[in-house]
Structure 1
Amino acid sequence: MSYAFTYEVPIGPDVYARIKEGLGAEPPKGLVAHLAYRTEAGLRYVDVWESEADWEAFVEERLHPVVDGVLTETLGFRPPEPPLERLDLVDAWIGERARGTMG
């Protein structure tokens, strides 16, 4: 069963780029799609994963170590986790070009 959610973070594209660089080019196991777009408050993410367990493993093993370092360096502290809004996903249709970056 897929796991999909959205959440907003108070960072800009520059900080996002540093986090993504720290994560490396290898896509995480179980990731179906990740979208990041600008909002008035920062960035909003929409993620689709094969399972909640895949998301949780990625967070603990890869995301948090990178985010902790970048945000502590950038902001001087690590803000609390943003609340996730779970999505009742019906379908995720991913195009052939989806693995690249959109600019």
Structure 2
Amino acid sequence: MVHAYTQDVPIDLPTYERILAEIGPEPLAGSLVHLCVRRPDGGLRYIDVWESVEACAAAFDERIHPAVDTVLAADRPGEPTVTPLEVLHMSGAAVDAGR
């Protein structure tokens, strides 16, 4: 079942780019869509869609959290709040290719 959510993170774009570099160029297994947008207060918001809760959890355990821990080290403010999204419909090139 598709898993989608938003997450507001109190980091700036250069920090986000360092985290991406740590994650590396290999696509995250199970990730369908990841958007990073700037919030009006200057922080960032992630909008993510995953194939499943399990795929999301595995990516966080194996690649995302280790990258965040490396970049933020002792300055990590804790886990941001995840706001689930109820997906009613999905379309687009990546989704259509999987049909």
TM, length-normalised to structure 1? 0.84
Q: Which amino acid aligns with 1:36?
A: C
Tell me the SS of whatever aligns to 1:65.
helix
How many residues align? The count is: 93
* Equivalent residue for 1:79, pick from 77, 80, 89: 77
Equivalences for 1:1-103 in 2 at 5 Å? Answer: 1-39=1-39, 40-72=41-73, 76-95=74-93
Tell me the SS of whatever aligns to 2:27.
coil
* Higher alpha-carbon deviation: 76-85 or 42-51: 76-85
Q: Distance in 2 between matches of 1:92 and 1:13?
A: 28
Give 1:77 deviation, angstroms: 1.9
Q: Distance in 1 between matches of 2:42 and 2:9?
A: 7
Give 1:65 deviation, angstroms: 0.7
Partner residue, 1:100 = none
**In 2, are the aligned partners of 1:9 and 1:41 still within 8 Å (CA)?**
no
Q: Which amino acid aligns with 2:82?
A: L
TM, length-normalised to structure 2? 0.88
Note the residue ranges of structure 2 that are not aligned, 5 or more in a row: 95-99
Q: State the identity %.
A: 42
Q: Distance in 2 between matches of 1:80 and 1:41?
A: 18
| Aligned alpha-carbon RMSD (Å) | 1.3
Partner residue, 2:97 = none
Tell me the SS of whatever aligns to 1:91.
coil
